[in-house]
Amino acid sequence: MKSILPVINEGKVLLSDGAWGTFLHRKGLQAGECPELWNVENQDAVLEIAQSYIDSGSDLIETNSFGGNPLKLAHYGLKDRAAELNEAAAAISRKAAGPDHWVLGSIGPTGQILMMGDVSEDEMLKGFRIQAAALEKGSADAICIETMTALDEATLAVKAAKESTQIEVICTLTFDLTQTGEFRTMMGHSSEEVVIALKEVGADIIGTNCGNGFSNMIGIVKEIRTVDAEIPIMVQANAGAPIIVDSETVFPETPEQMAALVPELVAAGANIIGGCCGTTPDHIRAIRNVLG
Amino acid sequence: MDNVIEGIALCVERGKISKQSPFPPDMKDQDGADEIAADAIKQGVKPDDLLDGCILGMNRIGEKFSQNKVFVPELLMAAKAMTAVMNHLQPFLESGEVKHKGKFVIGTVSGDLHDIGKNLASMTIKGHGFDVIDLGVDVPVDKFMQTIADNPGCFVGLSALLTTTMGNMEKSVKAIKEKYPDTKVLIGGAPVNQNFCDKIGADFYAADPQGATEYLKQNV
Check residue B162 and give its pLDDT: 65
Fold of B2-95: 1.10.1240
Domain locations in chain B as residue ranges: 2-95, 103-219
- ipTM comes to 0.81
- From residue A231, alpha-carbon distances to A8, A46, A143, A195 in Å are 10, 32, 16, 9
Give the A-side interface with B, CB within 8 Å: 21-22, 25, 30-32, 67, 72, 75, 111, 113, 115-116, 149, 178-180, 184-188, 238, 241-244, 247-249, 251, 277-278
Is residue B164 very low, low, confident or very high in pLDDT (cuts 50, 70, 90)?
low
pLDDT per residue as tens digits for the range A149-171: 999 999 999 999 999 999 999 99
Window 55-94 of B: residues touching A by CB (8 A cutoff) are 67-68, 70-74, 76-77, 80
Q: Is B218 on the interface with A (CB under 8 A)?
A: no
What is the mean predicted confidence (pLDDT) over B113-131? 85
Give the whole-angstrom CA distance, residue B57 versus residue B10: 6
What is the mean predicted confidence (pLDDT) over B91-112? 89
Give the whole-angstrom CA distance, residue A140 versus residue A135: 6
Residues in chain B: 220
Kindly state the helix (H) or strand (E) to which residue A105 belongs, with its residue range: strand A102-107
Q: Is B207 on the interface with A (CB under 8 A)?
A: no
Residues of B in contact with A177 (CB under 8 A): none
Please answer yes or no on whether B138 and A21 come within 8 Å at the CB atom. Answer: no
Check residue A112 and give its pLDDT: 85
Find the radius of gyration of the CA atoms of chain B: 18
**What mean pLDDT is reported for chain B?**
91
Residues of B in contact with A251 (CB under 8 A): 163
* Interface test with chain B among A247, A253, A279, by most B beta carbons within 10 Å: A247
pLDDT greater than 80 at residue A148: yes
Burial of A116 (0-12, 13-18, 19+ CB in 10 A): middle
Give the whole-angstrom CA distance, residue A280 versus residue A24: 11
Residue A216: which of A201, A187, A238, A196 has the closest Cα? Answer: A238
Is residue B111 very low, low, confident or very high in pLDDT (cuts 50, 70, 90)?
low
Domain locations in chain A as residue ranges: 5-291
Handedness of CA B25, A223, A10, A164 (dihedral sign): positive
Check residue B167 and give its pLDDT: 79
**What mean pLDDT is reported for chain A?**
94
Burial of B46 (0-12, 13-18, 19+ CB in 10 A): middle
- Domain pair B2-95 / B103-219, same fold: no
Contact criterion met (CB below 8 Å) for A233 and A221: yes
Residues of B in contact with A116 (CB under 8 A): 76, 80
Residues of A in contact with B140 (CB under 8 A): 32
Check residue A30 and give its pLDDT: 82
Q: Is B175 on the interface with A (CB under 8 A)?
A: no
pLDDT greater than 70 at residue A247: no
Check residue B112 and give its pLDDT: 61
| pTM, full prediction | 0.89
Please answer yes or no on whether A111 and B111 come within 8 Å at the CB atom. Answer: no
pLDDT per residue as tens digits for the range A179-214: 889 999 999 999 999 999 999 999 999 999 988 788
Residue A13: which of A275, A265, A284 has the closest Cα? Answer: A265
**Could you give the percent of chain A with pLDDT greater than 90?**
84
pLDDT per residue as tens digits for the range A210-239: 887 888 999 999 999 999 999 999 999 999
Superfamily designation of domain B103-219 = Cobalamin-binding domain (3.40.50.280)
CB pairs A-B closer than 8 Å: 79
Residue A185: which of A159, A215, A218, A146 has the closest Cα? Answer: A146
Is residue B168 very low, low, confident or very high in pLDDT (cuts 50, 70, 90)?
confident
pLDDT greater than 90 at residue A39: yes
Residues of B in contact with A67 (CB under 8 A): 113
CATH of A5-291 given 3.30.70.890, 3.10.150.10, 3.20.20.330, 3.20.20.70: 3.20.20.330
